[in-house]
């Protein structure tokens, strides 16, 4: 009703849908250590990012997260080689080992490095990398500014702070490119960490800080964070409600994840916390004196994107029941089997590539 015809088609999918999709995909990845499945998740997220991202500053974030993921695998491998982990029969090579004192029993330094252990460490690192890549996909796909508009009014001011903090990341990416070009002008190609710190990191951070301050000043002068019109008492009640609700939510989540609390009690605490939070937010939202120019509708396509992410999780659940053992393959040198249900689920999660490909009208003339 409030959207201009054709606008929904022009704009990308809802950012909440993208985050939901990416987190569901990450959930699916966290439920398995099967390398085929993890690689499939990475491939699917990459495909969707390439097809669906716009040309905004944050669209390049995916590549950065890929690099971070690769670093995670490398670090995990290095830890295995140095500190050990799962042991195996096929010894690749032996490092000189250090005998550690009594109190450090259970650790080793150096020693035999086995192929099985190395593989297990690699798969473990790959799992972490996959989770990171999923987050990267969400970053590349979802506009942080549009995400901000979908947050309940009561959380508005907090969410702006968060979004401004998030938007530093893409600024850093473009800042690094600019500073590196300038560095080449200086003829400075030194790669020592101290030199990079001084010539790249410090100027980039300086730049990002300057921009953030400029944005903060612009937002303040345009009325962000206005308290006008709301009596102090009502403001305090609002904050109290919000805090209580969020605390309840945190306590519930903690109880659920901990082992000490029985599951039913944890679930009910979580539900109560969520209820309090929702009530608090709803109550507070009515008191916040902001209006919305246009609400960002969550349409059928956005639901479909969420569902496709859900399919990946459902696939891993099905595989867990029907093909036990395939999700968590033994650390052997044999080629691990491919869990079929889970693979189908993850493939379904590629649907957004067809549902919401980038429209060309987003790029206007220069």
Partner 1 sequence: MIHFDRVTFRYEDRAVLDDVGFDVPEGEFCLLVGTTGAGKSTLLRCVNGLVPHFTGGTMSGAITVAGRSVRASTPADLADVVGYVAQDPLAGFVTDDVELELAYTAEQLGVPRDAMRKRVTEIVDLLGLADVRGRALAALSSGQRQRVAIGAALVAGPSALVLDEPTSALDPGAADEVLSALHRLVHDLGVTVLLAEHRLERVVQYADSALLLQGGRVRAGSLGEVLAGAPVAPPVVRLGELAGWEGPPVTIRAARRQAAPLRERLASAPAPVEPPPAGPPLLEAAGVAVDYPGVRAVDGVDLVSRRGERIALMGRNGSGKSSLLWALQGTGKRSAGTVSIEGGDPAALKPGRRRTLAGLVPAEPADLLYAETVAGECEAADRDGDAPAGACAKILADLVDGVDAEAHPRDLSEGQRLALALAVTLTAAPPLLLLDEPTRGLDYPGKAALAARLRRLADAGHCVVVSTHDVEFTAEFAGRVVILSDGQVVADGPARSIVAASPMFAPQVEKILPGRLTVAEVAAALDASDGGPA
The least distance separating partner 1 from the CB of residue 133, rounded to whole angstroms, comes to 23
Sole binder of partner 1 in the list 92, 98, 177, 226 (CB under 8 A): 226
Sole binder of partner 1 in the list 1, 89, 186, 258 (CB under 8 A): 186
Contact code string over 13-42 relative to partner 1, x by CB under 8 A: ------------------------------
Q: Which stretch binds partner 1 (CB under 8 A): 102-110, 217-225, 275-283, 299-307?
A: 217-225
Sole binder of partner 1 in the list 102, 258, 264, 291 (CB under 8 A): 291
Sole binder of partner 1 in the list 30, 47, 176, 211 (CB under 8 A): 211
Is 260 a binding residue for partner 1 by CB under 8 A? The answer is no
Return the closest-CA partner of residue 246 out of 209, 212, 208, 277: 277
Spell 63-100 as b/e; 16+ CB within 10 A means b. Answer: ebbbeebeebbeebeeebbeebbeebeeeeeeeeeeee
The least distance separating partner 1 from the CB of residue 227, rounded to whole angstroms, comes to 7
Is 234 a binding residue for partner 1 by CB under 8 A? The answer is no
Is 100 a binding residue for partner 1 by CB under 8 A? The answer is no
Nearest CB to partner 1, comparing residues 221 and 259: 221
The least distance separating partner 1 from the CB of residue 175, rounded to whole angstroms, comes to 10
355: tokens are 């549902």
Sole binder of partner 1 in the list 47, 51, 85, 145 (CB under 8 A): 145
What does DSSP assign to residue 201?
Answer: I
Q: Which stretch binds partner 1 (CB under 8 A): 53-61, 92-100, 259-267, 349-357?
A: 53-61
352: tokens are 């957004």
Sole binder of partner 1 in the list 97, 104, 161, 294 (CB under 8 A): 294
100: tokens are 């550690």
The least distance separating partner 1 from the CB of residue 166, rounded to whole angstroms, comes to 13
Is 250 a binding residue for partner 1 by CB under 8 A? The answer is no
Q: Which stretch binds partner 1 (CB under 8 A): 106-114, 197-205, 264-272, 350-358?
A: 197-205
Is 184 a binding residue for partner 1 by CB under 8 A? The answer is yes
- Please give the helix or strand (H or E) that residue 296 lies within, else none: none
The least distance separating partner 1 from the CB of residue 85, rounded to whole angstroms, comes to 42
Question: Does residue 114 contact residue 93 with C-beta atoms inside 8 Å?
Answer: no
Using CB under 8 A, count the residues that bind partner 1.
55
Sole binder of partner 1 in the list 27, 30, 150, 199 (CB under 8 A): 199
End-to-end CA gap in the chain: 32
Q: Which stretch binds partner 1 (CB under 8 A): 129-137, 203-211, 243-251, 303-311?
A: 203-211
The least distance separating partner 1 from the CB of residue 198, rounded to whole angstroms, comes to 5
Distances (CA, A) of 346 to 4, 173, 277, 297, 332: 35, 30, 33, 27, 25
Question: Does residue 207 contact residue 246 with C-beta atoms inside 8 Å?
Answer: no
Within 13 Å of residue 142, how many CA atoms lie on the same side as its CB?
26
91-98/109-114 β-pairing? antiparallel
223: tokens are 């009325």
Q: Where are the beta strands (DSSP E) in 152-291?
A: none
Question: Does residue 338 contact residue 37 with C-beta atoms inside 8 Å?
Answer: yes
Distances (CA, A) of 338 to 30, 238, 279, 334: 16, 52, 45, 12
Is 225 a binding residue for partner 1 by CB under 8 A? The answer is yes
- Rounded CA-CA distance 221/295 in Å is 24
Binding site for partner 1 (CB under 8 A): 2, 4, 7, 10, 55-57, 143, 145-146, 149, 178-179, 181-182, 184-189, 198-199, 202-203, 206, 211, 213-229, 289-294, 362-366
């Amino acid at each position: 009703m409030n959207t201009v015809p054709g606008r929904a088609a022009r704009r990308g999918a809802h950012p909440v849908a993208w985050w939901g999709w990416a987190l569901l995909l990450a959930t699916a990845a966290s439920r398995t250590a099967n390398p085929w499945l993890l690689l499939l998740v990475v491939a699917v997220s990459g495909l969707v990012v390439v097809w669906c991202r716009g040309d905004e500053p944050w669209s390049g974030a995916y590549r950065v997260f890929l690099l971070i993921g690769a670093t995670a695998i490398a670090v995990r491998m290095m830890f295995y080689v140095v500190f050990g982990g799962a042991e195996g029969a096929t010894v690749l090579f032996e490092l000189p080992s250090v005998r550690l004192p009594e109190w450090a029993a259970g650790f080793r330094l150096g020693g035999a490095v086995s192929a099985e252990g190395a593989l297990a460490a690699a798969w473990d690192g790959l799992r972490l990398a996959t989770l990171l890549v999923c987050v990267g996909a969400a970053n590349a796909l979802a506009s942080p500014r549009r995400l901000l508009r979908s947050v309940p009014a009561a959380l508005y001011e907090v969410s702006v702070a968060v979004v401004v903090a998030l938007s530093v990341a893409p600024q850093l990416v473009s800042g690094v490119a600019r500073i590196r070009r300038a560095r080449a002008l200086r003829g400075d190609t030194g790669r020592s960490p101290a030199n990079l710190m001084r010539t790249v990191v410090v100027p980039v951070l300086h730049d990002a800080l300057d921009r953030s301050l400029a944005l903060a000043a612009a937002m303040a002068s345009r009325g962000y964070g206005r308290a006008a019109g709301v009596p102090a008492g009502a403001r305090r009640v609002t904050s109290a409600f919000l805090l209580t609700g969020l605390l309840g939510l945190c306590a519930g989540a903690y109880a659920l994840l901990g082992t000490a609390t029985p599951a039913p009690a944890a679930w009910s605490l979580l539900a109560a916390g969520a209820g309090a939070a929702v009530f608090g937010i709803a109550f507070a939202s009515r008191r916040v004196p902001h209006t919305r120019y246009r609400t960002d509708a969550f349409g059928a396509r956005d639901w479909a994107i969420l569902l496709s992410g859900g399919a990946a999780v459902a696939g891993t659940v099905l595989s867990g029941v029907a093909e036990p053992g395939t999700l968590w393959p033994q650390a052997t040198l044999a080629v691990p089997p491919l869990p079929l249900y889970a693979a189908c689920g993850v493939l379904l999660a590629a649907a957004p590539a067809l549902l919401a490909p980038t429209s060309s009208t987003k790029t206007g003339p220069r």
